[in-house]
Amino acid sequence: FVSIILSLWCVRQVGYDANNVKTILSIGSDMTEKNRLKRELKLSDERYQIAMESADIAIIFVDKGGNVPYLSDVGFNLMGLEKNNSINIEVLLNRIHPNDRDAFISNILDCSNNLKQFSACEVRVLSKDEDFRWFTFKFKLINNPTTGDPCMAGAFYDINDDKEKDLRIEKLAFEDDLTGIYNRQKFLSVVKETLINAKFNNLRYAVVTLNLDKFHRFNDLFGVETGDGILKAVADIIKYNPYGKDCCCARLGNDEFACLIRLDRKEEHLEQYINELSERIKEFSQNQYDEMKLTISAGACIYMENVEDYHDVFERSIFSMRIAKNDPNKIYQAYDSSIKEMILKREVLEKEIVEAVEKKQFELYYQPKVDIHTEKIVGAEALIRWNHPTRGIVGPMEFIPVAEEIGIIDKIGLWTLETACKQNKLWQEQGLTNIKVSVNITSIEFYQTDIVGVVKTTLEQTGLEPKWLEIELTESMALVDVEETILKMNALRELGVGISMDDFGTGYSSLSYIQNLPIDELKLDKSFINKIALDDTTKNIISAIINLAKIIGLVVVAEGVEEREQFNLLKEMNCNIIQGYLFAKPLKKDEIIKMM
């Protein structure tokens, strides 16, 4: 059906016709299309309102006078406002988090000066539940359809769930799991951004890195959970420091931390800060852990003075820290020109070590292990030396730590093991008395490689019986991860290989720990032996260790024996084996053959 609606409009009375009938003039118009458009517009508006309300999107108008001529029902609901309230910009600002108000005002000002684009911001708003939630506001400058005046028309909606999800993801990506402060990745990002801004604003910053000295002792004595508690406490001490908001801190990994500090003071204040930090950490450890002192080694590099690149600042701070760590009289080292020379030398050394591996410039020396009663050689410790083409013989203390850091220690260790096994097998084939040869294994080799598989393959390839090989591990290294250590030690012993505990007495462990480790031999450190003839207390301690070690079935070796008086005392104490300059220094393979 077509519905025609006539609008009857009485214009005027015309009069009567000849038959005396009243005549009325009227005008009719077709309203069908107009009403159809009205219905469609109303339906469209209802759809729009349903869409906005179901999506919880609020509509808002703000005029240039700061009034709010329109706020949708959703807007009132999201903000927890009564609909009969008089709304203006001041009411809105009171609902916005104080720290976000400037951003909101800036957003509106940007919008009022821009005719083409939307202006957007994310702010926290006090919701109907009286909790701050994150909202996105978007505005665009238009003419008010009612008054024709310019106004900011916009929409806002709740993004709190997504924001919290993003924050959780960011926390996982950028925070250290244990301490809650930044991790290495985030710290470097902050350093980069901060130092770029510093360059343009002529500001000075320092990157400080620090390491906890001998932290493993606390883990060994009190357990890993206690160690984790110490790391958390140290993170708090570093975080809440005199530099306050001008300091960003992070845990780089294990027991290393870093700080980025703005320097608007003299450099001596930086050193003072590090000293105060050291004292606070030391005081904390003494109060909590039976007077044990936890000390630090720190390094610093100042931006705008030494280097231009943020990564160089960080790396040179790390390098300075390592220099401080290697000097027992220092807790702090600032980067300077002398350290630059050391870095250049270090780079040369790294290249030369790589070349030494490729060109096989290493050789093994052997130090005899002598039975204390028969004074005959019963074993030998294989000690690596670097036969440098221009410098001559270089000791392991100079190149082994560097080889560990640049990731080639496994190659050097494999060469050492193979060479020692081949040499021992050759001595046996030459008819010499069978002896055990000891090979030192580094922490990286033991924990990060298949050391059991490597030893097994080497023995098979060289033909040496396992009983003539002994693996030496340091006390501190063996106690890094006791469970894994025991598993690997047992696997090596199942092959028939002997296990020796080197440097006993330099750490905080005791024989109660040692008796749980599957070892065959205990080596007393040279620092003990040096005082055996000078100090009755040391003599009594050594005697007790030897007696207890024998009770649990261990062979005891005394290292660093240089004097006959030391030898005689150890013999009286019934020590098994000695090793030291009294009998021989480390010898080349041809020299030790003569002694054998």
Could you report the per-residue pLDDT of 412-429, keeping only the tens digit for each? 999 999 999 999 999 999
Phi/psi at 549 (5° precision) = -65, -40
Can you read off the two tokens belonging to residue 288?
């909590």
CA-to-CA dists, residue 10 to 15, 26, 130, angstroms: 13, 5, 61
Residue 11 has a pLDDT of: 46
Task: Average the pLDDT over 7-21 and give the result.
Answer: 54
d(CA 453, CA 303) in angstroms, rounded, equals 48
Residue 47 has a pLDDT of: 52
CA-to-CA dists, residue 482 to 487, 490, 505, 588, angstroms: 9, 12, 17, 35
Could you report the per-residue pLDDT of 446-478, keeping only the tens digit for each? 888 899 999 999 999 999 999 999 999 987 777
Residue 2 has a pLDDT of: 43
Tokens 């406002």 correspond to what residue?
Answer: 81
d(CA 64, CA 149) in angstroms, rounded, equals 9
Tokens 């012993």 correspond to what residue?
Answer: 493
51 vs 186, residue with greater confidence: 186
Residue 512 has a pLDDT of: 65
Q: 244 pLDDT exceeds 60?
A: no
377 contacts 435 by C-beta, under 8 angstroms: yes
520 contacts 473 by C-beta, under 8 angstroms: no
| CA angle (339 as vertex; 337, 344 as ends), nearest 5 | 100
Residues in CB range of 407: below 8 A, 6 or more apart: none
pTM for this entry = 0.59
Could you report the per-residue pLDDT of 461-520, keeping only the tens digit for each? 999 999 999 999 987 777 667 788 899 999 999 999 999 998 886 654 556 677 788 999
Residue 506 has a pLDDT of: 64
CA-to-CA dists, residue 540 to 475, 524, 535, 549, 579, angstroms: 21, 14, 9, 14, 20
Residue 99 CA, distance from chain mean position: 30
User: Which residues in 181-293 belong to E strands, given as ranges?
Assistant: 205-212, 247-253, 256-262
pLDDT bracket for residue 5 (50, 70, 90): very low
Which is it for strands 256-262 and 205-212: parallel, antiparallel or unpaired?
antiparallel
Sequential DSSP letters for 200-221: HHT--EEEEEEEETTTHHHHHH
Residue 434 CA, distance from chain mean position: 49
Q: 177 pLDDT exceeds 50?
A: yes
**3-state secondary structure (DSSP) of residue 593:** helix
pLDDT bracket for residue 41 (50, 70, 90): low
Q: 44 pLDDT exceeds 70?
A: no
CB atoms within 10 A of CB 136: 16
pLDDT bracket for residue 242 (50, 70, 90): low
Residue 338's Cβ-count burial label (10 Å; 0-12, 13-18, 19+) is exposed
Task: Average the pLDDT over 47-62 and give the result.
Answer: 65
Could you report the per-residue pLDDT of 126-164, keeping only the tens digit for each? 887 788 888 888 888 877 766 777 777 888 888 888 887
Residue 193 has a pLDDT of: 85
The residue type found at 134 is W
d(CA 585, CA 596) in angstroms, rounded, equals 14
Task: Average the pLDDT over 549-565 and give the result.
Answer: 93
Instruction: Report the mean per-residue pLDDT for the chain.
Output: 83
510 contacts 542 by C-beta, under 8 angstroms: no
pLDDT bracket for residue 522 (50, 70, 90): very high
Q: Could you tell me what percent of the chain has a pLDDT over 90?
A: 34
Could you report the per-residue pLDDT of 276-334, keeping only the tens digit for each? 889 999 888 888 776 678 889 999 988 866 556 788 888 889 889 988 887 778 888 98
Residue in 329, 289, 339, 321 with CA at minimum distance from that of residue 212: 321
Could you report the per-residue pLDDT of 63-119, keeping only the tens digit for each? 877 788 888 888 888 887 877 666 777 888 888 888 888 888 887 777 777 655 677
